[in-house]
Chain A
Amino acid sequence: MTDTNATTTGATPDSQGPLWEVFTQAEQGAPHEHAGSVHAMDAEQALQNARDVYSRRGEAISLWVVPTSAIVASAPGDAGPFFDPGNDKAYRHPQFYKVPRGVRGL
């Protein structure tokens, strides 16, 4: 009866539910950081589970949950060539530029 829907959400009748990645913001103005993952049937339950698992002691003032399947990550093997375009441009760093002796505040 619920089989078609269950398949699309990755859940079977007795399962732990699909996996969600959890991001917590520790304080106002701080970035959200990856904390871990939870299993949950839907987004609302994922948020509640994330609260119970990753913020029992005020570790978070804000939570994000994202279906793990929605995350696209760079591959470790390609890390060198993939990041090369950014790594070989020394002129993007302030140290690349010469400043006349005695000039301050640059």
Chain B
Amino acid sequence: MEQKPQASADEQAHVAAFEARIDAGESIEPKDWMPERYRKQLIRMMSQHAHSEVVGMLPEGNWITRAPSLRRKLSLLAKVQDEAGHGLYIYCGTETLGVDRTELLDQLLSGTAKYSSIFNYPTLTWADVGVIGWLVDGAAIVNQTVLAKASYGPYARAMIRICKEENFHKRQGYEIVATLANGTPGQRAMVQDAVNRWWWPALMMFGPSDKDSPNSADLLRWKVKHKTNDELRQRFVNLTVPQAQAVNLTLPDPDLRHNEETKNWDIGPIDWDEFYRVIRGEGPCNRERLEARREAHEQGRWVREAAAAYAARHSGARATQVA
């Protein structure tokens, strides 16, 4: 009975000390005390991020066998391999919060975990591969550059590693886009069509508008995020519009115009119904992506089993030798 107020006073003191550290710009490390909600929010955010990297391999992996040249194929293979690596960096960071990767993978495969809704759109033509590198990786860079300053040390360090590699992704994408944009009328039409399909989903990658983002306040207060979804989206738009103009591509937004006062490119309204539909699982490729992921997991089972058997046999052999 007397324990309870004592515990909550302790808890309050811990929270105060924790928030003082955050305010002082200190980095929180795995064994440090942290509020349960901070831990939970980080696990949610980081695992979704890791899943996105892994599922993100699917739409592009789809085009590896059909890349138009060996140069393009090498780049795409390396990019897709990077995405696998990025997933692993972030899973590794998430595990420092006391959750096992097997558990996270189970959540992905069972469909209970979320991942970025962008990967539920199909890659219909080769131009999509270029546009994904340019817009999707471009948007991810804007997001991740800020996350590299996140208050949780392992997350920030994973982001620094990722940011160093993403620029290659964006540039290889833009090179494909620029090549097609300067190509035959058919190639131009193909790349413009891809831009038209990816532009709005790319803008949705930054998440709901600030006023509708339920997790933003905590994440901002605890400096996991340093910028709001809308601020990051605006930064991305401002960076991207001149890049589209440079290769004479248009962006599918009749309301897009430069605001002389704010120096921003103002955009028209985003179709948030579409965003929530895709998150709910009603996007064009949600089922296909999860099925492909499950199939890959099952096809890898024998490798994991063989490696476990090999390791067991060898540790047995060593034990016998020592005896």
On A, residues with C-beta under 8 Å from B are 2, 5-6, 8-9, 11-17, 19, 36-42, 45, 52-53, 56-57, 73, 75-77
Contacts and interface: CB of A to CB of B under 8 A. Distances in A.
Nearest to B101: A16
B305 A13 contact: yes
A53 B315 contact: no
A44 B14 CA distance: 42
Contact of B308 (A11, A19, A36, A38): A11
B158 A36 contact: yes
B296 to A, nearest CB: 14
B85 A53 contact: yes
A60 to B, nearest CB: 12
B314 A42 contact: yes
B260 interface: no
B316 A5 contact: yes
Nearest to A22: B92
A14 to B, nearest CB: 6
Contacts of A15: 102, 304, 308
B31 A73 contact: yes
5 contacts: A16-B105, A17-B311, A37-B95, A56-B165, A76-B33
B82 A14 contact: no
B285 interface: no
Question: Which secondary structure dominates where chain B touches chain A?
Answer: helix
Interface of B: 29, 31-33, 78, 81-82, 85, 88-89, 92-93, 95, 101-102, 105, 157-158, 161, 165, 301, 304-305, 307-316
A42 B95 contact: no
A11 to B, nearest CB: 5
Contact of B315 (A9, A17, A39): A9
Most chain B CB neighbours (cut-off 10 Å) among A6, A36, A38, A75: A36
Given A6-B312, A16-B304, A17-B307, 9 more contacts: A2-B309, A2-B313, A13-B305, A13-B308, A36-B89, A38-B92, A41-B310, A42-B307, A53-B85
Contacts of A2: 308-309, 312-313
A42 B310 contact: yes
A77 B307 contact: no
Greatest chain B CB density within 10 A among A37, A40, A76, A77 is at: A37
A73 to B, nearest CB: 7
